[in-house]
Homo-oligomer: A and B are copies of this chain.
Amino acid sequence: MSTSDAKGPIILVTNDDGITAPGIQNLVEAVRSLGEVVVVAPDSPQSGTGHAITIGQPLRLERVHQFEGIESWQCSGTPVDCVKLAREKVLHRLPDLCVSGINHGANHAINVLYSGTMSAAMEAAIEGIPSAGFSLLDFAFDADFDIAREVANTIARRLLESKLPARTLLNVNIPKLPRDQFKGIRLCRQANAHWEEQFDHRKDPRGRDYYWMVGAFVNQDEGGGTDVDALEAGFASVVPIKFDLTDTAMQERLSKDWKDLFV
């Protein structure tokens, strides 16, 4: 791209539902007034890809005309691949902000790990780009993104205006609610939750077994202040996320309990 005539900050937009999803269209609309928007997004749905990268096969990257007046590219890889390619092969610099989404479906609690939407935002933050992922608690293709768009605009504007560290990363979830029941934005911690998987067992036409993954989200958090709590109470949740995964409490414990093991 030509950055010489860039107006304002460069904002990279990506997602995991693919470049044709309504969610990314809404995210582009949410942030296009804040700077020069460039889209690099997957050419197909990539939900549940987590922080996967493509190393065993080559990547395609193609210019498309998906958004009126917005430079946009589709990539054959994962959301994380999109962020890497955007920096190296499209922008040739770090953008000032990366926003990912708006995901069709929740990425609260432990879903941050499975989510391609959040992994794209995390990859940007790892590379030193302030970043946020946005998710609406509605899987529908024709979901109402009005409130989510406003929340995304507000958070993106704050990230651009604030002098926060370059590696700042926010996980933002928006409840599925009519406007008169939406209560605002709440700062939260990640709920302690997991999925209880079940597998739908079937036989293919040749009689061979196969399985579809299905599962139930289980919130086992007993404290307050979580993203799950906030969303259930009608708030959008904002959880600051880090990617230094060191468990310092366990490090302290092992330094005593396993003292004889370590040199």
Contacts and interface: CB of A to CB of B under 8 A. Distances in A.
A213 B81 contact: yes
A258 B165 CA distance: 14
Nearest to A76: B210
User: How many copies of this kind of chain does the complex include?
Assistant: 2
Nearest to A184: B263
B235 A240 contact: no
A210 B241 contact: no
A190 B158 contact: no
A50 B48 contact: no
A107 to B, nearest CB: 12
A2 interface: no
Contacts of A4: none
A178 interface: no
Contact of A197 (B88, B119, B190): B88
Contact of A50 (B61, B119, B158, B248): B119
Nearest first, the 4 A-B pairs at minimum CB distance are A50-B51, A240-B250, A184-B263, A242-B247
Given A85-B211, A183-B263, A185-B262, 11 more contacts: A50-B52, A58-B202, A81-B213, A87-B197, A88-B199, A164-B253, A189-B244, A189-B246, A240-B250, A240-B254, A242-B250
